[in-house]
Amino acid sequence: MAAQVQALYDFAGEPGTTEMSITCGEVLTLLNTDIGEGWWEGKNAQGQTGLFPAAYVRKLSPEESAPTKVAPPAPRYDQAADEWGEQQFSAGDNNYQRAASHDDGWDDDWDDDTYSEIGPGAPQNKPSMSRQQQLTPLPGMPISDFNQQIDDNTSSFGSTVGTVRKNKFAPSSKISGESYLLATLNVEVPETEKVYIVQEGDGYVWAQITQPYNVTVASPKKESKFKGIKSFIAYQLTPSFNNIQVSRRYKHFDWLHERLQEKFTLIPIPPLPDKQISGRYDEQLIERRRVQLQEFVDWMCKHPVLSKSEVWQHFLTCTDEKRWKAGKRQAERDNLLGLNYCVSLVVPEKALLQSQVDHITEQCHTFIGSMDTSVKSVTNMCLAQTKRFQGPYKTDCQKVGEAIYNLGNALSLDEGTVISTSKLTSAIKMTGGAYIEIGRMYEDQPKYDWEPLGDKFHLYKGIVGSFPDVLANHKGAVQKRRECERLTAEHKMEVAQLNEVLRRTDVISYALLAEINHFKSERTDDLKATMQKFLRQQISFYKRIVDKLEVTLNQYDE
Amino acid sequence: MAAQVQALYDFAGEPGTTEMSITCGEVLTLLNTDIGEGWWEGKNAQGQTGLFPAAYVRKLSPEESAPTKVAPPAPRYDQAADEWGEQQFSAGDNNYQRAASHDDGWDDDWDDDTYSEIGPGAPQNKPSMSRQQQLTPLPGMPISDFNQQIDDNTSSFGSTVGTVRKNKFAPSSKISGESYLLATLNVEVPETEKVYIVQEGDGYVWAQITQPYNVTVASPKKESKFKGIKSFIAYQLTPSFNNIQVSRRYKHFDWLHERLQEKFTLIPIPPLPDKQISGRYDEQLIERRRVQLQEFVDWMCKHPVLSKSEVWQHFLTCTDEKRWKAGKRQAERDNLLGLNYCVSLVVPEKALLQSQVDHITEQCHTFIGSMDTSVKSVTNMCLAQTKRFQGPYKTDCQKVGEAIYNLGNALSLDEGTVISTSKLTSAIKMTGGAYIEIGRMYEDQPKYDWEPLGDKFHLYKGIVGSFPDVLANHKGAVQKRRECERLTAEHKMEVAQLNEVLRRTDVISYALLAEINHFKSERTDDLKATMQKFLRQQISFYKRIVDKLEVTLNQYDE
């Protein structure tokens, strides 16, 4: 079948010449590309043949040009702008789901099984706006009594301790991590599940991962169930340690994320894809989500604690429906949530200097506050730049191109022929074509620089955004410790119990210090690579503009 | 005196560090630029010293930083946008004069001498919206009777012939060029004033300029009169043939332009500076006018007929007030206006084929129509691009730079020091600085590419816009000739007189053909050079962006 092209712009052929008028979106059969001077010959649906500027059309791939199918209109900024606008997403989840449910089944159908059916971040289902909660103040009080007090924010003992998220499946005894701190929890953790914190230089770090691995998130597939009535997107995950692919839907990620947040209250959990992602095509949207899931997965794999957690391993490896449900139930019944998880930690013997811990956490607090602002501003900037590149920058270039191209066209009229006999005229037309092409480069570019940069900073936004809760959870433990010291001074608490509280508070502080260091070393390597990659892409982009203009400039010589 | 800098942006110093907050526009004394990492140390007006990002300030030149003078606020896009807007110029001349009269005296005061005090293009003073007028239809009718009929557009003999502009100083016998066509004008033109049209290949051209010269328009000076009470801008013109500088104000150019338009109705006169020019500074505005005056002058010098015209030579060379007035009066009494000028032409003996002339003029008509649209669109595009570069593109880059710079700042907080100990942090700050700098490059760039391109197309817009009148003037003569042929067939006109009409119409046609060819050959060289220069500037711009980003990228290594 002959190649087909689609008009990207209107072109008004000069009447009485061999030029042919074409209309944006029109599909033409390509007859001859050897005309020269930037002209091609084609035939329209009415059977008319004629010449049109090559720069005004794009070639269709064989599947696009299948004769039975009307080609979709070329993407133009004006349309894209509407899809981007806040009005579509400002109302949050509902609009998002509507926008997303076009065809990708991201979260518009649900399994009938029992685990979480909470959509991604639907506010009414979230336990609270913050991961912090007020915990019971009284030492030794049974954890099972805790639920009655959980909303009592006016408690006279206003410290915040050991925050976890509510878990509607978990028995009430799991809600607080306070039992760990107050030494009422004594569980023997198997050696394989123990996590070590070691000294490194002046600081403390998580012991290195003994068997590093990574996981690739492959381009998602559309799968179907109920004999094809329902379709949904599933992402294919392949861990390097077993090379066995598993298929996971967003809701599986979401369930995993909830478990992780419950369990690790001293470790920021990397975020899932942003609900604010939008794209002009569904495919682009799905791909952005894949990239952000890959960022999530990468961070998990590189984290010494998270990477070996049982629920994550289950998520990565389970391929059997029955085992999946069993593992799921087990994870939901996990007792070692929140501060209780600290029973798994093995820390240096040395007691920490509280003043030193205070200094580090205060500095971290200031740092995180400032990072939060700037990470958000980089994220917004990436979104804005993407929008500008694909919108006005592209359009502006194309307006430049069209103005110059039309100048060439006007000049060729004086030659009385469509095929310019003059070098100058054809060089001017080519210049116009080059700017139209540069416009397309602007449209295409964000996926190489602004979007990956934005995806990376989406990750940091999530992690940095979780840090205040992590710090508050630690601070709560420290306050509880002071309270216990006071109680002991007042002879209301045994010295032996206090010593155990002191030791356990140190474990919590060690965990925080290790996590602060982990974040620092991870981001140092990661940000360097990110910025280098970004700058290389930017450089390559502007170099390609230079190349294109230099080719054009050479047309004027000879 | 110590160097001073001015803040270009607000910068909020981190409290409790050596950083100092600075406010956009604030002038600081520079104490130390050897801090490194993109920081400078300075002292503010309150005597506080501290560090601020070097990229956030600009150095002031000695005169700007004179202690008695408050430095002007740095130019920012937001202000510039207001000055650009249509509202300021849309009502035409009056607003223009108001805007222009800030301090340059462009046209706000007038000599008390007698010649034209018509401002640049004020509509109420212009003879008509078009250079075309209805001329008397009756052969042999005395020219002096013409004035009574000049507004009779409903004349049964509706052809348009030999258009000239009204000249309030000229005797009525000069108004029409018809006396030439109808052979009632017989003037002996001295050899030195004769202009030859010669055959070249298939076509006819103006004989080459025997003594080519050029004229430079130098940066204008502010001059004053009435003991300094009035000041005005005068441009300094230096012709290469005598190297004697003359000083001319806009009103002199305007007077010249009127004379040229009266006299040469078959030759498009290049336009004077556009009243729509605006700039953010008066200096920029005056410089743009200078460039457009230079374009006017260049076109004049390269034109075989215009370059030797008496009024132009007078304008270029007269340095004496008395001789100036005498020459001015003489020019205003010039008899050889409009078609009458054709008595000065010497053309080939050969009679022209009317069908061939018709073909060429029709093609020219089509060409000029298309050129008019595209030249206007290139002009508008240049204006729009200038606005974009100096506005949103600059601002967008700076937002990118600020977001990245602030990320570096946030990261350095974790190091507990303003001077980054980390290579990464300082590289990120430098990256931010690079984008802020690229923003400034965008602001500066239009004067190298978009503005010169726009100035060139302002010239073409004027010339192309004059062509329809030129073509109509020729067409009128051709119609008059047909009328005379009819009259002769009806024995109402002598054959001898008809033959003279035929010969003289041929002279007019020769002049048009020569002018069409002149325009073609001039624009071919000129557009080529223009496009090359433009592309080279664009290439250089994007290369400098690449260079800047590459320097930045290298900061991440080592």
CB contact under 8 A, B381 and A399: yes
Residue A3's pLDDT is: 86
Residue B523's pLDDT is: 92
In this structure, the answer to whether residues A283 and A204 fall within a common structural domain is yes
Listed residue (A345, A338, A308, A304) closest to A195, CA to CA = A345
Angle of helix A495-554 relative to helix B495-554, nearest 10 degrees, comes to 150
The reply to whether A67 falls in a domain is: yes
The reply to whether B7 falls in a domain is: yes
Distances from the Cα of B533 to the Cα of B447, B453, B530, angstroms: 12, 9, 5
pTM of the model: 0.73
Mean pLDDT of chain B: 78
| Residue of A381, A410, A532 with shortest CB distance to B371 | A410
Residue B506's pLDDT is: 94
Which one is predicted more confidently, B156 or B330?
B330
CB contact under 8 A, B549 and A538: yes
The reply to whether A301 falls in a domain is: yes
Three-class SS of residue B81? helix
Give every CB contact of residue A351 below 8 A, 6+ residues apart in sequence. Answer: A502, A503, A506
- Residue B70: pLDDT over 60: no
Which one is predicted more confidently, B16 or A398?
A398
The reply to whether B33 falls in a domain is: yes
Question: Whole-angstrom Cα distance, residue B232 to residue B222?
Answer: 5
| Residue of A381, A384, A407 with shortest CB distance to B378 | A407
pLDDT band at B420 (very low <50, low <70, confident <90, very high): low
In this structure, the answer to whether residues B379 and B431 fall within a common structural domain is yes
Residue A177's pLDDT is: 65
In this structure, the answer to whether residues A291 and A182 fall within a common structural domain is yes
| Interface probe, candidates A11, A359, A370, chain B, greatest B C-beta count within 10 A | A370
* Mean pLDDT score, B465-478: 94
The reply to whether A491 falls in a domain is: yes
CATH of the domain at B460: 1.20.1270.60
| Residue of B363, B381, B535 with shortest CB distance to A552 | B535
Instruction: Please tell me the distance in Å from B537's CA to the nearest CA on chain A.
Output: 10
User: What stretches in chain A show pLDDT beneath 50?
Assistant: 66-176
CB contact under 8 A, A363 and B543: no
Residue A475's pLDDT is: 93
In this structure, the answer to whether residues A334 and A263 fall within a common structural domain is yes
- Count structural domains, chain B: 3
In this structure, the answer to whether residues A338 and A419 fall within a common structural domain is no
Sequential DSSP letters for A62-73: TTTT-TTSPPPP
Instruction: Please tell me the distance in Å from B140's CA to the nearest CA on chain A.
Output: 38
CB contact under 8 A, A531 and B422: no
CB contact under 8 A, B542 and A539: no
- Residue B83: pLDDT over 60: no
Which one is predicted more confidently, A509 or B414?
A509
**Per-residue pLDDT reduced to its tens digit, B275-306:** 655 555 577 788 888 999 999 999 999 999 99
Question: Whole-angstrom Cα distance, residue B511 to residue B365?
Answer: 16
pLDDT band at B224 (very low <50, low <70, confident <90, very high): low
In this structure, the answer to whether residues B446 and B306 fall within a common structural domain is no
Residues of chain B with C-beta less than 8 angstroms from the C-beta of A539: 546, 549-550, 553
Nearest CA in chain B to A387: B396
CB contact under 8 A, B531 and A370: no
| Residue of B374, B381, B416 with shortest CB distance to A400 | B381
Which one is predicted more confidently, A194 or B62?
A194
Torsion sign, CA atoms A348, A354, A355, A357: positive
CB contact under 8 A, B400 and A381: yes
Residues of chain B with C-beta less than 8 angstroms from the C-beta of A377: 402-403, 406-407
Could you tell me whether strands B345-346 and B195-200 are parallel, antiparallel, or unpaired per DSSP bridges?
A: parallel
pLDDT band at B1 (very low <50, low <70, confident <90, very high): low
Residue A77's pLDDT is: 32
Residue B399's pLDDT is: 96
Give every CB contact of residue B356 below 8 A, 6+ residues apart in sequence. Answer: none
Which one is predicted more confidently, A192 or B312?
B312
| Residue of A367, A396, A542 with shortest CB distance to B542 | A542
In this structure, the answer to whether residues A306 and A163 fall within a common structural domain is no
In this structure, the answer to whether residues A53 and A78 fall within a common structural domain is yes
| Interface probe, candidates A390, A411, A525, A557, chain B, greatest B C-beta count within 10 A | A411
Angle of helix A495-554 relative to helix B423-444, nearest 10 degrees, comes to 40
The reply to whether B122 falls in a domain is: no
In this structure, the answer to whether residues B333 and B188 fall within a common structural domain is yes
Domain stop point among A328, A346, A364:
A346
| Interface probe, candidates A513, A542, A544, A548, chain B, greatest B C-beta count within 10 A | A542
CB contact under 8 A, A364 and B424: no
Asked whether A221 and A234 are in contact (CB, 8 A), the reply is yes
CB contact under 8 A, A378 and B556: no
Instruction: Please tell me the distance in Å from B94's CA to the nearest CA on chain A.
Output: 31
In this structure, the answer to whether residues A530 and A430 fall within a common structural domain is yes
CB contact under 8 A, B431 and A546: no
Residue B407's pLDDT is: 95
| Chain A with chain B: Cβ pairs closer than 8 A | 150
Residue B373's pLDDT is: 96
Instruction: Please tell me the distance in Å from B443's CA to the nearest CA on chain A.
Output: 16
CATH of the domain at A141: 2.30.30.40
| Interface probe, candidates A11, A365, A539, A557, chain B, greatest B C-beta count within 10 A | A539
Question: Whole-angstrom Cα distance, residue A428 to residue B323?
Answer: 47
Nearest CA in chain B to A380: B403
* Mean pLDDT score, B100-119: 34
| Interface probe, candidates B549, B550, B552, chain A, greatest A C-beta count within 10 A | B549
Asked whether B470 and B265 are in contact (CB, 8 A), the reply is yes
The reply to whether B353 falls in a domain is: no
Question: Whole-angstrom Cα distance, residue B243 to residue B390?
Answer: 38
Sequence ranges of the binding site of B: 249, 251, 289
CB contact under 8 A, A381 and B399: yes
Sequence ranges of the binding site of A: 249, 251, 289
Provide the residue range defining the domain that includes A39: 1-99+133-167
CATH of the domain at B304: 3.30.1520.10
The reply to whether B356 falls in a domain is: no
CB contact under 8 A, B406 and A527: no
CB hemisphere CA count around B429 (13 angstroms): 24
Residues of chain A with C-beta less than 8 angstroms from the C-beta of B400: 381, 385
Residues of chain A with C-beta less than 8 angstroms from the C-beta of B549: 535, 538-539, 542
Amino acid identity at A542: Y
In this structure, the answer to whether residues B492 and B395 fall within a common structural domain is yes
Domain stop point among A119, A148, A167:
A167
In this structure, the answer to whether residues B320 and B465 fall within a common structural domain is no
Residues paired with A5 in a beta bridge: A28, A59
Nearest CA in chain B to A428: B531
| Residue of B392, B531, B539 with shortest CB distance to A546 | B539
